[in-house]
Amino acid sequence: MNADIAKKITGLSRIFLEWLKDNGSFRTAPVRCTIDGISPGVYFINIVRVNPSLFYIQEIVSSKIRGQVVFRSWSFEKKKTWKVIETEKFRTPIAYHNLKDELSDLSARVEIILAVSVSRGAYFAEALEDADKIMNVTIPEDVEIKRNGPFSRLNLIFYRYFAVILAGILALGVFSLVTVYTAHIYSFRKKVETSMEDYSKNMDSQAQEFFQNTEGQISTLVNKLKQTQESFDFDRKNAYVNVLRMAEELTKYFPARKKAYRLIANNILEAANYSEVLYELSRLPTEEYQARIFLATDRESVTPLAEWEPVFSFMVYPVKIESEKNDGRGFRITDGYMSIRENPLGSGGSSPHYAVDIINVSNIAYVDNAGVIIREGNPPGNIVAAYSGMVRDSGWDSRYGNFIMINHELTKEVLSKYPKATGWSTYYAHMKDLSPIKQGERVNANETIGFIGNTGHSTGPHLHFEVRIYKPNGIYSDVNGRFIKINPFPSTHSKKAK
């Protein structure tokens, strides 16, 4: 048997058995459908268990115009695995080469019934994708409408096997068993037919009541949604105005909080539901340091690292997420080059920042009232060499924690921008651990040299990244000599995009 067909049969059998449980029969609730793409109707499935290894399924559609019609019928039997031993569509056997498509159609209808069963009413099926098309049934003109005995297949089964059974029993000389067996089959058939007759009579009245009630239910639902939307619009605007008022009441000594409040107010105005409004309100920072971290991590307020251009065209971003491309996505520059900032540890004073601080936004969840950065469990990210070179220095610094410095060869591009340069290097600090790469070892561009950490004077895991140009009159000095610090990312791609 085709693997796809076997898989679909097994899946459907599990659902049907779950519906049956310990009962001998089961019918699903009616679901709205269309007949021939025009007439409204209902669709349902009826299941009868003959024994633990055999049950019959009928797909039935009912409408005022066409009455009740058996769409498809199936016989499922289990030996080693479940199999379809007989199937018909409008009383015509289904060919094996069409079985896969018919099973797929049955599966799609069962999925809609399952979805509707957990909703508030059958009419919710209309909201399901492609539900109208899936639930449509096209009935041939010559199909006979049957309102009694839908399980007429039992007659066929009965007559098909009766002769064989009778011959076998006569050969054994036990004619009495024929009478008992025939009575048993006949009794079973009559029970099924009687059950379906009663069901057929009830179905028409239920369908009519269903159509009458559905319109009123939809109208009530629409009115409730309108009222809810009006209340939400009012509450959202009220929250926006209040947060904006709070922002204006903050003095100039709280610039980060003022900016954060304004940003959150705008986010509230664009919220689509109450959950989004509550989420934005929960992010209101109560302290200035919290506001700075909020502004550093919020996607609306910070330009992604991916939009910044390295100072030299051959450089790559110094950070990446494990197993992902080095494209700057997911990272943000929290403090840029030459940004005037207060001491991040609260010791007072402010000074220019001659480097860039880079964080992995997905690593930061929020800041609690004690100023502790709460993590979501995502690693802060890898530190990689921005260009190929040789490790010149690494170790521990009381201010920058674990660090590593890589010397790079002078290129035409570097010399064209800095004609007096005698060399250049990149500097990486606040690393989680000491780099495993030792002094004198070579590294390639984009090679991992460590991991973003929180060592030294740091308020949270981030990379302190510098580009150093060595020249005789530089204002700083290290093991290479005197140098200046240049902006690693002087412009953004967005200007080019425009």
pLDDT of residue 21: 87
C-alpha 190/C-alpha 194 separation (Å) is 6
What pLDDT was estimated at residue 48?
Answer: 87
Angle between helices 274-282 and 255-269 (to 10 degrees): 180
**CA 250 – CA 148 distance, rounded (Å):** 78
Predicted pLDDT of residue 309: 92
Which residues, at least 6 apart from 467, have a Cβ–Cβ distance to it below 8 Å?
A: 311, 386, 424, 425, 426, 427, 485, 486, 487, 488
**CA separation (Å) from 264 to 97, 274, 285, 291, 467?**
60, 14, 10, 11, 35
Cβ atoms 449, 384 nearer than 8 A: yes
- pLDDT tens, per residue, the chain with 498 residues: 678 888 888 889 989 898 988 888 888 888 888 888 888 888 999 898 888 888 889 999 888 777 788 889 999 998 888 988 888 888 888 888 888 899 999 999 998 888 877 654 444 444 455 677 788 888 887 665 444 444 444 444 444 444 454 555 555 554 455 555 556 555 655 655 555 556 555 655 555 555 455 555 555 655 665 667 777 887 888 888 888 888 888 877 788 788 888 888 888 888 888 878 887 888 888 887 777 767 756 655 556 788 889 999 999 999 998 888 999 888 888 777 666 555 544 444 455 778 899 988 766 655 554 445 555 556 789 999 999 999 999 999 998 999 999 999 999 999 999 999 999 999 999 999 999 999 999 999 999 999 999 899 887 788 999 999 999 999 999 999 999 999 999 887 653 333
Domains of the chain, each with CATH number or no CATH: 3-216 (no CATH), 302-497 (2.70.70.10)
| Total-model pTM | 0.44
**For residues 71 and 61, what is the distance between their CA atoms, to the nearest angstrom?**
7
**How many Å apart are CA 178 and CA 174, to the nearest integer?**
7
Other CB atoms within a 10 A radius of the CB of residue 131 amount to 21
